[in-house]
Structure 1
Amino acid sequence: MNLLSGEYECKLDPKGRLVLPAKVKGSLPQASAGQLVLVRGFEPCLVLYPLEAWRVIHDKVMALDEFNEEYRQFQRNFFRGMTEVELDSIGRFMLPGSMRRYAGLEKEAIIVGLGNRCEIWDTARYDEYLIKDQQSFSKLAQKFLTNETGPGGSLAA
């Protein structure tokens, strides 16, 4: 399984297109064949999923009970603006204007690989959302990676 990882600084062209870095493109599953899904992130960024990873998320969200108002609100907002994108011959894809405005993307972006997905950030906004204090980061690592009741179980022996 290929994992999307790393940080990549990119530039948007005047038409709002972004070239996917070669390392990111090379890590996409073959089954995606350049088909990707772009959605608004929970933070002010965009999230890019390979098609097969998106299907897993899509199915989880669609499994929520449509007769529950809170679930409907979540589904409505989660799927709002979802766009399928395809890479052209040079690995470039269009970022729709409404999505660029949401994420504050104008000329530069940073793409961050997060395993099954990538986030696309305005470089200044991305820096605002990073943990600046290494001690706080270390405490989070300890909380999430050594607690047997935490997400994904324990990594400790």
Structure 2
Amino acid sequence: MVQLLGEFDCKLDAKGRLMVPSSLKKQLPNVEVEGLVINRGFEKHLVIYPKKVWEGIVEELSKLNPYEQKNREFIRYFTRGATELTLDATGRVNLPKSLLEAVGIEINTELVLACQFDKIEVWSKKAYDALFDSEPADFSKLAEEVMGNKNRRSDGE
């Protein structure tokens, strides 16, 4: 399983290209061969998946019952705009203009690439910073609510 780590400050150039930071690229050793897929996130950001991770998601989606309207709508919205990305010779990827516009990311803007497990969220730096301006006052309480007893140690501690 892919385990991506880190936050990276980047800049989108005038042509909508993003230079993949070398330390992130090292975490994706076969990216030039396997490729990436970019898609909309659930908030105002984009998500980049290694191609194999995306294929796993598509496999899950294909198991949903297509006769249920809720499933069709979810699949339609989730996959809308999904695009394969390939790195050029200098390690850049060209982000689709339609996806950038959909989440309000402008050309020549600063971005944050935020790794989460097996995906990379792409945020405008301004939106990413604003996201953490509203950090919960009691983060430990949120952790308790979300994680509960899910990760209790089995050795009695």
Normalising by the smaller structure, the TM-score range is 0.7 to 0.9
The answer (yes or no) to whether the contact 2:9–2:113 under 8 Å persists in 1 is yes
- 1:145 CA drift (Å): 3.6
How many angstroms apart in 1 are the aligned matches of 2:2 and 2:129? 26
Structure 1 residue ranges, 4+ long, deviating more than 6 angstroms after superposition: none
Kindly state the Cα deviation for residue 57 of structure 1 after the two structures are TM-superposed.
Answer: 1.1
CA contact 2:18–2:92 (8 Å) conserved in 1: yes
Q: Distance in 2 between matches of 1:105 and 1:45?
A: 8
Whole-Å separation in 1 of the counterparts to 2:122 and 2:31: 22
Q: TM-score when scaled to structure 1?
A: 0.87
Which residue in the other structure is 1:156 paired with?
A: 153
- Aligned residue number for residue 145 of structure 2: 143
Alignment of 1:96 with 2:96, yes or no, is: yes
Please report how far the alpha carbon of residue 75 of structure 1 lies from its aligned counterpart in structure 2 after TM superposition: 0.6
* CA 67–88 in structure 1, closer or farther in 2 if over 3 Å, else same: same
Q: 5 Å matches for 1:49-68?
A: 49-68=49-68
* Residue type at the aligned position of 2:121: E
Listed as ranges, the gaps of 5+ residues in structure 1 are 149-153
- Scaled by the length of structure 2, what TM-score is found? 0.87
Structure 2 CA distance for partners of 1:136 and 1:58, relative to 1, 3 Å: farther
Counterparts of 1:31-110 in structure 2, within 5 Å, are 33=33, 35-106=35-106, 107-110=109-112
Contact in 2 for aligned 1:12/1:18 (Cα 8 Å): yes
Contact 1:35 1:86 in 2 (8 A): yes
Unaligned runs of 5+ in 2: none
Query: Within the alignment, does 1:122 sit opposite 2:124 as a pair?
Result: yes
Instruction: Write the distance in 1 (CA, Å) between the matches of 2:119 and 2:61.
Output: 16
